Amino acid sequence: MIFVDSNVPMYLIGAEHPNKHVARRMVDTAISHRERLVTDAEVFQEIMHRYGAIQRRDAIQPAFDLLSQIVDTVLPIELSTVEQAHRIMLGHGLGARDAVHLAVMEQADVRDVMSFDADYDRYPAVRRLFS
């Protein structure tokens, strides 16, 4: 299983950028290898937050649609997830959103994350896929 972070669909629907091609290759490779792709509900919130902040509300639905198409499962965030994220955040100096994703990943036994966010590299229990 591979966790898909918010930056992947945003690069895929965004303007030309070197990461757009890397994201496309990562997604295509995962799908061709029949990898199970997952995300969590917070990733959708991050998409809304980012596109709202840059006044690109028109991009929210395309990003939602794309993410929904490429992932097999959207994992929930529960109180136990947030409690675990709290421990991860304090223990590893990570931001709240990354800590939530990592807690979700741990609860679902997911070790790989498809992301351009290098902060994941500070958490030894996961492997960030970036090329």
Give the model confidence (pLDDT) of 29-86 as tens digits: 999 999 999 999 999 999 999 999 999 999 999 999 999 999 999 999 999 999 999 9
What are the boundaries of each domain within the chain? Answer: 2-75+110-129
| Residue 16, H or E segment | none
Look up residue 73 and give its two tokens. Answer: 């499962």
pLDDT digits (tens, 9 = 90+) for 94-131: 999 999 999 999 999 999 999 999 999 999 999 999 85
Crossing angle of the two packed helices 41-53 and 60-70, in degrees rounded to 10: 160
Q: What global pTM score does this model have?
A: 0.94
Q: Which residues pair with 113 in a beta bridge?
A: 3, 128
3-class SS of residue 14: coil
CA atoms within 13 A on the CB side of 32: 6
